[in-house]
Amino acid sequence: MYTQSVKYVKDPLWTWKNFVERGITDAVVTRPEIMESWQRCRVLDVDPYDGIGKDRLGHSELQQLFISNSQLVEVAKPFMHTVYQSVQGSGFMVVITDKEGRILHTCGDTGILDKAASTIQFIKGTNWSEQAVGTNAIGTALVINKAIQISGPEHFCQSHHYWTCSGAPIHNYLGEIIGCFDISGPAEYVYLHTYGMVVAAVEAIENQLRKEVIQEEKNRAYELLSAVTESVTEGLLAVDNEGRIIHINLAAQKMLRFSHKNVTGEFLNSLLGSQNNLTDMFVHHPWKTDAEMVLELSGESIQFTCSSRPITQGDGSISGVVFTLLEINKVRRLVNRMVGATARFYCKDIIGESEVMKKALKLIFVAANSRSNVLLTGESGTGKELFAQAIHNHSGRSDGPFVAVNCAALPRELIQSELFGYNEGAFTGAKRGGNPGKFELANEGTLFLDEIGDMPIELQVNLLRVLQERKITRVGGNKEIPVDVRIIAATNKNLLKDIEEGRFRQDLFYRLNVFSIHIPPLREREEDIELLTMYLIRVFSESLGKQIKGADTEFLQAIRNYSWPGNVRELQNAVEFAINIAEEDYLTVKELPRTVVSYPRLIRTEGKVISLLEVERITVESTLNQFNGNITQTAKALGIGRNTLYDKLKKLGVRA
């Protein structure tokens, strides 16, 4: 009985038969994993006398399968071949499947591959899950998520009893099953070491997949870093503790004149020479903000501002430094933009279709294409600054700054330092580090000297010298700084008369008056008045949020009759005023400032007596209007003091 029972216990085929035919389980002979799998197969209604792979993919589905598992196949293939080499000739084959158990790739001795194909259809594209072909190392390993060896009658299907196979699931870096690695061969050659080989191969494949993910992440991080560092205009440069470049963006590469080389990995010192402020800064001061420095690069001396930050590791140690570099010229350009040192207007923005205006507008392009200084003449408010901006914008200097200086508005004692700058300690109250003047700020651009006629005669000689020598010396300094500036000067005065009367230097006049454009007053171009009015109605309606559609005939008649001493600026003020108080869709004469309506009436009332007081009121009102209510300028224009003007305003009942 005992011997019999041992025989019974040791015969796996008998156990299999007992199970598939009578449903008897034998927990002593059969390993629990196998028994559980058999039970699953029964539930799944797998035919134990079949086991032929019938669930096979067609050609196009097979292609799709390869595409979606291409990374796994690419990574696994070399390992499959290595494993195969060590079992070559012993009748074994190596297989990988996808996560469902579908065969992706096989390699092995031709005889065994043929046998597998012809007997059980164990070929690419066939489903080798438990559900399809019963208990087997591939399908079962995928269900239990563990490596397993299954031999002979442990297979649920009889047609597999010839085989022994060892399978192990392959996981991605997230621990999810993505496939299975398997070694299969004749059951008579069952070796435990094939199981070990499968486990080792899967470990190697999973490692390689992890490395690839890390590499992909690194690549993505690098691409992101590059996109970020290339999107800024500053130069960015990172160096390690030894001074080796670890990252550099294109802007830094250009600034440091490394443009054509791949300098990553090179020592900063050997590229820039050991005596350079960058390395010095890196060694001694890892934290700096906007430090000014000069680098001698390929025979050029380049000025930068440089900020630096240490690269700190997770443990707090410093592994290098990141530098942010900005060329000073660019900094200046940015500052100019911030302080409004840019020109907004182009020729198309200047309204005017009168013949005189058309002629003047044409000259803008002639002036823009020449390098000569330009003198703009015309009454106040005729658009001289507009012309100056348009000349700059149409010239080859349009990328450079446009710096405007109103010579009449600068206190006499400040003109020198405003124009030429000053050094630290030049005078009490001088800024630390000194200050660049308008000439330096306008470098490579245009300097617009408005109201040049108001430049004090004793300073005119300094200006003349700069125009001749193209170099400035800061107040309190002795170094000459070269400046490349195009001058456009403007005046509403008769400079020839000023020369005669000794208020303006003739030599300076000839320096400035190389090319001159006269902008005619509004009263000499009546056609433009209406055009400008309609344009201004549109502009102000929009900016003041009104729906004004135009002006009635009486309104237009009144503006045509007025003499516009303040030219376009005065017209602009009048239209803005009218739009502000308008309540209807069309402007009427009621909305025009009183001076515009009454002044021409005064001229036309020949013979009719007007009181002196009325004349005075009209004159004061129109002058105030011309200077935008500015008391100082109005008083100056009327030739009276500010206090006298205040008295008059009170007496005449005029509000400033």
Only one of the segments 70-78, 204-212, 346-354, 414-422 lies at the binding site for ligand ATP (rule: CB under 6 A); that segment is 346-354
User: Nearest approach, Cβ of 471 to ligand ATP (angstroms)?
Assistant: 29
The count of chain residues that interact with ligand ATP, using the rule CB under 6 A, is 17
Only one of the segments 52-60, 345-353, 611-619, 631-639 lies at the binding site for ligand ATP (rule: CB under 6 A); that segment is 345-353
Only one of the segments 17-25, 117-125, 320-328, 378-386 lies at the binding site for ligand ATP (rule: CB under 6 A); that segment is 378-386
Only one of the segments 209-217, 313-321, 567-575, 629-637 lies at the binding site for ligand ATP (rule: CB under 6 A); that segment is 567-575
Q: Is 568 in the site for ligand ATP (CB under 6 A)?
A: yes
Q: Is 384 in the site for ligand ATP (CB under 6 A)?
A: yes
Tokens of 388: 């100056």
Nearer to ligand ATP, 149 or 377 (CB): 377
Q: Is 350 in the site for ligand ATP (CB under 6 A)?
A: yes
CA distances for 49 relative to 14, 16, 121, 134, 151, angstroms? 15, 12, 15, 10, 17
Tokens of 160: 């597999």
User: Nearest approach, Cβ of 625 to ligand ATP (angstroms)?
Assistant: 14
Nearer to ligand ATP, 84 or 365 (CB): 365
8 A C-beta contact, residue 141 and residue 161: no
Q: Is 525 in the site for ligand ATP (CB under 6 A)?
A: no
Those residues with Cβ within 8 angstroms of residue 96's Cβ, 6 or more apart along the chain or in another chain: 72, 73, 76, 80, 103, 104, 105, 170, 179, 180, 181, 182
Nearer to ligand ATP, 104 or 578 (CB): 578
Nearer to ligand ATP, 164 or 389 (CB): 389
Q: Is 378 in the site for ligand ATP (CB under 6 A)?
A: yes
Q: Is 249 in the site for ligand ATP (CB under 6 A)?
A: no
What DSSP assignment string belongs to 398-411? TTS-EEEEETTTS-
- How many angstroms separate the CA atoms of 189 and 167, rounded? 16
Contacts 24+ apart (CB under 8 A), 206-215: 206/170, 206/171, 206/172, 208/75, 208/79, 209/71, 209/72, 209/75, 209/170, 209/172, 209/173, 210/173, 212/71, 212/75, 213/172, 213/173
Only one of the segments 129-137, 377-385, 584-592, 615-623 lies at the binding site for ligand ATP (rule: CB under 6 A); that segment is 377-385
Q: Is 333 in the site for ligand ATP (CB under 6 A)?
A: no
- How many angstroms separate the CA atoms of 447 and 28, rounded? 102
Task: Name the residue number minimizing CB distance to ligand ATP.
Answer: 383
User: Nearest approach, Cβ of 566 to ligand ATP (angstroms)?
Assistant: 8
Nearer to ligand ATP, 138 or 360 (CB): 360
Only one of the segments 15-23, 67-75, 373-381, 396-404 lies at the binding site for ligand ATP (rule: CB under 6 A); that segment is 373-381
User: Nearest approach, Cβ of 361 to ligand ATP (angstroms)?
Assistant: 9
Only one of the segments 201-209, 226-234, 374-382, 631-639 lies at the binding site for ligand ATP (rule: CB under 6 A); that segment is 374-382
Q: What is the CA radius of gyration of the chain?
A: 46
Q: Is 352 in the site for ligand ATP (CB under 6 A)?
A: yes
Residue type, 372: S
Q: Is 140 in the site for ligand ATP (CB under 6 A)?
A: no
Q: Read off the DSSP letter of residue 485.
A: -
Nearer to ligand ATP, 194 or 380 (CB): 380
Sheet containing strand 318-327, edge to edge, reads 245-248, 235-240, 318-327, 300-312, 288-297
User: Nearest approach, Cβ of 350 to ligand ATP (angstroms)?
Assistant: 4
Q: Is 382 in the site for ligand ATP (CB under 6 A)?
A: yes
- How many angstroms separate the CA atoms of 121 and 5, rounded? 37
- How many angstroms separate the CA atoms of 45 and 324, rounded? 71
Q: Is 385 in the site for ligand ATP (CB under 6 A)?
A: yes
Nearer to ligand ATP, 443 or 533 (CB): 533
Q: Is 565 in the site for ligand ATP (CB under 6 A)?
A: no
From candidates 558, 569, 582, 625, binder to ligand ATP by CB under 6 A: 569
8 A C-beta contact, residue 344 and residue 504: no
Q: Is 447 in the site for ligand ATP (CB under 6 A)?
A: no
- How many angstroms separate the CA atoms of 16 and 209, rounded? 39
Q: Is 383 in the site for ligand ATP (CB under 6 A)?
A: yes
- How many angstroms separate the CA atoms of 284 and 327, rounded? 22
User: Nearest approach, Cβ of 633 to ligand ATP (angstroms)?
Assistant: 10
Q: Is 450 in the site for ligand ATP (CB under 6 A)?
A: yes
Only one of the segments 174-182, 455-463, 505-513, 566-574 lies at the binding site for ligand ATP (rule: CB under 6 A); that segment is 566-574
Residues 473-512 contacting ligand ATP, CB under 6 A: 490, 492
Q: Is 380 in the site for ligand ATP (CB under 6 A)?
A: yes
- How many angstroms separate the CA atoms of 308 and 287, rounded? 5
Tokens of 172: 């991605």
Q: Is 164 in the site for ligand ATP (CB under 6 A)?
A: no
Chain centroid to Cα 124, Å, comes to 50
Tokens of 487: 């001058």
8 A C-beta contact, residue 515 and residue 369: no
88 phi, psi to nearest 5 deg: -55, 135
Q: Is 623 in the site for ligand ATP (CB under 6 A)?
A: no
Helices (H) and strands (E) in the chain, counts: 27, 19
From candidates 46, 386, 475, 512, binder to ligand ATP by CB under 6 A: 386
8 A C-beta contact, residue 187 and residue 162: yes
Q: Is 351 in the site for ligand ATP (CB under 6 A)?
A: yes
Q: Where on the chain is the footprint of ligand ATP (CB under 6 A)? A: 350-352, 378, 380-386, 450, 490, 492, 568-569, 572
